[in-house]
Amino acid sequence: MRLLLKQRLFSWFDSYDVYDQDWNTVYRVKGEPSWGHRLQIYDAGGRHLGTVQEKVITWLPKFQLYTGGRLVGTLEREVTLFRPKFRLDVNGWRVEGDFLEWNYQVLEGRTPVMTLSKELWSWTDVYRLDIPRPEDALLCLMIVLAIDAAKAA
């Protein structure tokens, strides 16, 4: 499954549209005013699916991921010198990123759960998500939103 995450150009808070490979809207993400980033995820029909919430009293950016009002995991940026590193507490997965912070992989053991790449030369942030198992799409989207917000913090 391939998703394209495109940030909206004119928005007071972080807002994104998420499309499939045929440019059909799959998800909408709306930022809300709060202390730290708070992103609400909706399906194309407007049904609420999840929330990415930044914890504000932490040394480095840390995000909690919720589906159905239930905490399903966290993502926290770690201190490193050369490569971006995140501690991911979701399903035993881990995140690996490249030096420029444009490409990431989420892995379960050695198996890719998601490959993320940032597309260059666009007015807003555009990410391509390749997800082998469609049932992982929502959780992978939440991880990408948390990574993007952590980079902006």
Q: Record the pTM.
A: 0.88
Query: Residue-wise pLDDT tens for the chain (153 aa)?
Result: 999 999 876 555 678 999 999 999 999 999 887 677 899 999 999 999 999 999 877 678 899 999 988 999 999 988 766 666 889 999 999 998 887 677 899 999 999 999 999 877 666 678 999 999 999 999 999 999 999 888 765
Amino acid at 123: W
Residue 108's nearest CA partner among 96, 91, 120, 123 is 91
CB 153 within 8 A of CB 131: no
Domain of residue 26: give its range.
2-152
CATH number at residue 109: 2.40.160.200
Domain count, the chain: 1
- DSSP character string of the chain: -EEEEEE-SS-SS-EEEEEETTS-EEEEEEE--SSS-EEEEEETTS-EEEEEEEESSSSS-EEEEEETTEEEEEEEE---SSS--EEEESTT-EEEE-TTSSEEEEEETTEEEEEEEEEPS-SS-EEEEE-SSGGGHHHHHHHHHHHHHHHH-
